[in-house]
Each structure stands twice: as C-alpha cells, then as structure tokens.
C-alpha cells in the first residue's frame, strides 16, 4: 500500500532513513513496511508508569510479527501526586498538552503511519487522544491498568486517595503522623494507576466508549493476564487499522463523544473528564459543548455503578462484572450505536456480542444507584460559562448553601487560615487564581477541601474555586472549575470578602448576589496581575485557551478550520 512513511527509492530522504534504520537492525523489507509509533510515557517517578517499558517491548514484538515495524517513542509522564509540587501545581494539566506536542513532534516529524498509545495516569490518555485527533493517523489506546491497594488491620481499604484525605487531618490532630504513615505504607502494592474510580480509570473507560480501544479493555488490573492479552491484541489491531486507514476523525464523532459522556456519568466518573473530553473534541475538530452534553444526559443517565469512593464496590468488582463494555451494554438506549470503533465494527455490533453484565454491580439504565447524576453542571451569575459539582452515588449531601465569601488567592494561605480557625462555619471559601491562565496550568484545590474536612467544617463551609479537584474525592458542597476563571474577565475575579454566594444543586445554579452596578464599578477599577511564570509554563500561559474550550493550546475555531481544510 501507499504509506506516507515511504519515500522514492534512491532519494536523499529514502537513503538517510534506510541508513539510520539499518543501524537499528532493520532490513530492506522492514523499511517498506508500515511504521507504527509505540507511545510510551514510562517514568520511574511514579508507580503509574513503572511497568510500561515491558509492555512497550512486547507490543513492538507483536507488531513485528504482524508484518509492521514498531518504533518506541517517549513522552513526558504527568502525575498529580508527584509533579504538582512545583509551579503551584501548574505542571500537571499543562503536561497533558506537552505530551500531545511530544507525540506530534515524533510522529509527524518522522511521518509514521500510525500509533499505539500506552495509557496510564490521569493526563496521558487525554493527551494521547488529543494528539490522535490532531494528527488523524490510525491510533489505538491500550489501558495499562490499575494498581493493587492495601488493607488495614480493621479490614478497611488503604489507597492513595485515603492517604491524600487523611493528610488533611494531621495539622488539626485528627490523625497521628504514625497512623498516616501506616496507611501510606500499605496504600500501593504494585504498579498501575489509582485503584478507585478516579481520573485515570475514568479516562480508560472513556477511551473505550469513544471507540479508541479494543472492546473490553478497561478497567483492567496492571500486569494481569487480561492486560497483557489486550496489549497484544491491540498491537495486531493497530497494524490492521493502518492497512485499512481507520482514522481517529472517523471514530471520534459527535455521537462518539455523546457515548463517552454517557459512560462517564454511568460509572460516576471523574469531573476532570469534562475538560479532557472538551480538549479532545477541540483537537479533533468536533463542534460539541461537552458541559452542555453532561447537563443534558444527566437528566437520563444516573450512576449505574458505585465504585470507591462513590460507593462500596471496588474497581475489581467492576472489571469482573463486565467493565466498560458491560456499562455500555446497559446504556444502549441512549448510545449512538452506529458510531464506529477502531477495529471497524460499530458500537452496536460490539455490544451485540458482549456478555451480559452482572446487574448487581452494573445496574440497568432504569434502575440506577441514585436518582441524580453524580456530575452536575452549574451555571449562574458567578459561573456564566459553567462549573462542576461532584456528588456521591450512595451518600446524600446538602442541596443548597448560601453564605458570605471569604476570598483567597492561594491554596496555602487558605489552608493556613482554616488551621488557624479563621474560616467560620456558614461561609463560602472562594479560592481563585488556580485556573489554566492564573496559575498558570491549573492548581489543585482538593487539599483545601481536605483541610476543611480535617477541621470538622465539611458541610458547614462551601467551596467555590476555579482550580482542579481530585478525580476521586470531594466532600460537602464544592463547586469547581468555575468558568470564566478568576484570572480572566468574569464574575469570579470580582468577588470580595462578605459578598453573598448561593449554590443550588437541584436548580443547577451558582450565583453571586451582588448588584450588577457594583460589579461594573469593580470591573472598571480591576487590575489583573500578569501570571508569574518562566520556561514551559510561560509558553503555556501565553497560548492556553479558556477552560470552556478545554484549556488547549489551539482554539476551537482553528481546529474546525483545520478539519474543513483537510
């Protein structure tokens, strides 16, 4: 077939590539075969990525056996718990886009014919899918699995999120340092991503719902026989996809994004999926408002599963019950069954062959774990472009909250005020300046939420922030990812101490109860400080689009124009 990686025999480009690749052990026949990038975000910084090298090696072997050549390429490996330490947390989300650019540089620069992406921690999957949408070369995602977690002497689960939560209790004496270290020692028992329904497992299931993995790929235990079998089958499938020229823009259609949103709602997935799906849509050139789609489908799709921390089930329970494919089987009435998958079959054809899920773990669409969607999109005078609240699938929380604002521009200052007793019950803690432009790169706000929990103020103090929240755990009324963010022109940047803020989840509203005239007066006198950043974060700050466009480095208009031209 006519491959873009091949150049006229005898030409300078052909000769130099042949010379380089023969030095790697390839022969003349290899040089003519499909050339596939094996995208590996291996890193020894975190167990999320520590097992990927062996997977990459095996994938390269299977690709060769299938008649093609696999070239392993490396990317940045973003991980919240490690890389959020510097740049006010800004390196985490921004590395998603850096990863997409890493892939572009290697795959486009070398004119490779396709790619197979080893998906692990939170930002790798969306970054890989963003690159797939941008480059539009045949691509398949391989979820590389969740980590085993530990158990305490009392039988309670110990995992990384439990460590994160309990760390917020140390300053107030809610837990001793010794007990925290005991949980920490037992929390992770092997490689892989966080074991609850956090962002990583949500992204793996989302990729399957988009049609970009093989059926039944997620969730899966890291280094399990099922993970290895899927990796090998995916290696064969990407060769077939390259030969058949099945491209991401044929797969990630508007209907596919609708399927992905439904799947995220059904598994009570991470709120971070909203911005990641929007970013993937922008890069793919699909004109869809993901927040509005969550709001629309939330009227129909409740949580069909209740995996920790949204409920009592484990990620292992979900995998055994049918996994993402089982969830989609229950969702068929609201899915676009005509959407095409990477293996060439439609979603309807895939689900026709799927085994029936365990309805005790994956409920039918008309019998969800809770009557409400666990991802709620709130609009209002404080968030005219939207905001997000995450609810539990099994616990009832407050529906409404109104109180005076206590404003902070920095998470550390907010935590210090909480620990000093300077944040009173009945107030609304406003934490701003953590958005993609303000940090820049988007700072983490969950540590403030956990500090409130450690001080016994959960449910007594609401939180409103433009920052990023943990994909797993939020407690009390927490309104996150307020748009426009505080660093841009919008109401959040105008809030002052004492302003009344009202959040009403059933009404899906969050409002700043300040007269328009007063807000206009504040807007006229406001002076926004320029982000203080250098290096990569400075580049990001100068080019990132607003969060409602996915916080990408390409505008929705530019992406759509590029699609029309192609």
Q: Assess whether 556 and 465 both reside in one domain.
A: no
Query: What 3 state SS string does 262-297 have?
Result: HHHHHCCCCCHHHHHHHHHHHHHCCCCCHHHHHHHH
Q: Assess whether 65 and 167 both reside in one domain.
A: no
Which of 336, 435, 458 has the alpha carbon at shortest distance from 388?
A: 435
Whether residue 219 is preceded by a cis peptide bond, meaning omega within 30 degrees of 0, is yes
Range of the domain at 185: 149-189
Q: Assess whether 139 and 239 both reside in one domain.
A: yes
Rounded Cα distance, 515 and 508, in Å: 21
| DSSP codes joined into one string, 90-126 | HHHHHHHHHHHHHHHHHHHHHT-SEEEEEE-STTHHH
Which of 266, 337, 252, 256 has the alpha carbon at shortest distance from 300?
A: 266
| DSSP codes joined into one string, 440-503 | TS--B-HHHHHHHHHTT-BTTBEEEESSB--SS---SSEEBS-SS-TTSSSGGGG--TT-EEEE
Give the end-to-end CA distance of the chain in Å, rounded to a whole number.
21
pLDDT score recorded for residue 563: 63
Whether the Cβ atoms of residue 5 and residue 113 lie closer than 8 Å to each other: yes
Residue 11 lies in a domain: no
Residue 366 lies in a domain: no
Total domains in the chain come to 4
Give Cα separations from 255 to 91, 260, 283, 338 (angstroms).
32, 9, 16, 8
Q: Which of 189, 210, 239 is the last residue of a domain?
A: 189
Which of 318, 259, 257, 243 has the alpha carbon at shortest distance from 288?
A: 257
Annotation says 470 is catalytic: yes
Residue 362 lies in a domain: no
Count the neighbouring beta carbons within 10 Å of the beta carbon of residue 21: 17
400-408 vs 35-40, strand pairing mode: unpaired
509-512 vs 500-504, strand pairing mode: antiparallel
Residue 363 lies in a domain: no
pLDDT score recorded for residue 262: 98
What are residue 38's phi and psi, to 5 degrees? -100, 100
Residue 61 lies in a domain: yes
Q: Assess whether 232 and 214 both reside in one domain.
A: yes
Rounded Cα distance, 442 and 83, in Å: 12
Q: Assess whether 42 and 180 both reside in one domain.
A: no
Residue 64 lies in a domain: yes
- Taking the chain (566 residues) in consecutive chunks of 10 residues, what is each chunk's mean pLDDT? 93 97 96 98 96 98 98 95 92 96 98 98 97 98 97 90 87 92 96 94 98 98 98 98 98 98 97 97 97 96 94 95 98 98 98 95 97 95 96 81 96 95 96 94 90 91 92 74 95 97 96 97 85 89 93 78 63
Which of 109, 441, 123, 73 has the alpha carbon at shortest distance from 273?
A: 123
pLDDT score recorded for residue 336: 98
Rounded Cα distance, 418 and 29, in Å: 67
Q: Assess whether 205 and 238 both reside in one domain.
A: yes
Q: Assess whether 212 and 130 both reside in one domain.
A: yes
Rounded Cα distance, 506 and 120, in Å: 35
Q: Assess whether 346 and 387 both reside in one domain.
A: no
Rounded Cα distance, 476 and 228, in Å: 40
Q: Assess whether 122 and 214 both reside in one domain.
A: yes
What pTM, to 2 d.p., does this model score?
0.96
pLDDT score recorded for residue 310: 85
pLDDT score recorded for residue 334: 98
pLDDT score recorded for residue 394: 82
Q: Assess whether 177 and 197 both reside in one domain.
A: no
Q: Assess whether 347 and 381 both reside in one domain.
A: no
Residue 102 lies in a domain: yes
Which residue of the set 195, 470, 534, 555 is catalytic? 470
CATH of the domain at 509: 3.50.30.80
> Which residue is it, tokens 């939207």?
386
pLDDT score recorded for residue 161: 84
Q: Assess whether 307 and 180 both reside in one domain.
A: no
428-431 vs 400-408, strand pairing mode: parallel
pLDDT score recorded for residue 402: 97
Residue 365 lies in a domain: no
């Amino acid at each position: 077939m006519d491959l873009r990686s091949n150049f006229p025999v005898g030409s300078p480009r052909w000769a130099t590539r042949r010379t380089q690749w023969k030095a790697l052990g390839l022969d003349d026949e290899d040089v003519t075969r499909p050339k596939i990038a094996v995208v590996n975000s291996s890193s020894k910084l975190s167990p999320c990525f520590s097992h990927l090298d062996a997977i990459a090696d095996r994938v390269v072997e299977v690709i060769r056996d299938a008649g093609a050549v696999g070239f392993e390429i490396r990317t940045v490996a973003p991980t919240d718990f490690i890389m959020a330490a510097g740049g006010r947390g800004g390196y985490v989300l921004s590395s998603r886009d850096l990863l997409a650019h890493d892939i572009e540089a290697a795959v486009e620069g070398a004119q490779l014919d396709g790619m197979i992406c080893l998906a692990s921690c939170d930002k790798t999957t969306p970054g890989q899918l963003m690159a797939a949408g941008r480059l539009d070369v045949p691509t398949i995602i391989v979820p590389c699995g969740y980590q085993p977690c530990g158990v305490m002497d009392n039988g309670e689960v110990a995992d990384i999120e439990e460590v994160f939560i309990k760390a917020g209790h140390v300053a107030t004496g809610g837990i001793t340092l010794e007990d925290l270290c005991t949980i920490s020692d037992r929390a992770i028992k092997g490689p892989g991503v966080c074991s609850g329904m956090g962002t990583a497992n949500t992204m793996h299931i989302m990729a399957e719902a988009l049609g970009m993995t093989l059926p039944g790929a997620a969730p899966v235990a890291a280094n399990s026989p099922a993970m290895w079998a899927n990796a090998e089958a995916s290696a064969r499938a990407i060769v077939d996809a390259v030969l058949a020229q099945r491209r991401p823009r044929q797969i990630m259609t508007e209907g596919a994004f609708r399927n992905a949103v439904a799947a995220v709602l059904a598994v009570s997935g991470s709120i971070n999926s909203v911005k990641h799906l929007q970013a993937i849509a922008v890069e793919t050139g699909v004109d869809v408002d993901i927040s509005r789609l969550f709001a629309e489908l939330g009227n129909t799709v409740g949580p069909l599963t209740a995996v920790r921390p949204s409920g009592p089930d484990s990620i292992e329970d979900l995998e055994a019950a049918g996994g993402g494919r089982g969830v989609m089987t229950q969702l068929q009435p609201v899915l676009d069954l005509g959407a095409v998958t990477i293996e060439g079959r439609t979603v309807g054809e895939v689900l026709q062959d799927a085994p029936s899920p365990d309805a005790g773990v994956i409920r039918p669409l008309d019998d969800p774990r809770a009557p409400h969607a666990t991802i709620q999109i709130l609009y209002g005078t404080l968030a005219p472009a939207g905001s997000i609240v995450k609810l539990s699938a099994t616990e009832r929380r407050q529906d409404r909250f109104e109180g005076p604002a206590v404003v902070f521009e920095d998470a550390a200052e907010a935590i210090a005020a909480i620990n000093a007793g300077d944040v009173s019950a009945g107030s609304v803690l406003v934490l701003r300046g953590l958005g993609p432009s303000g940090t820049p790169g988007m700072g983490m706000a969950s540590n403030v939420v956990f500090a409130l929990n450690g001080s016994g103020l959960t449910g007594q103090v609401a939180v409103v922030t433009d920052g990023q929240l943990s994909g797993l755990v939020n407690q009390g009324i927490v309104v996150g990812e307020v748009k426009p963010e505080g660093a841009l022109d919008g109401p959040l940047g105008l809030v002052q101490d004492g302003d009344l803020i009202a959040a009403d989840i059933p009404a899906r509203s969050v409002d700043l109860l300040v007269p328009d005239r007063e807000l206009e007066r504040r807007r006229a006198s406001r002076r926004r400080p320029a982000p203080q950043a250098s290096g990569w974060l400075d580049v990001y700050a100068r080019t990132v689009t607003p969060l409602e466009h996915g916080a990408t480095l390409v505008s929705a208009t530019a992406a759509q124009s590029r699609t029309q031209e192609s």
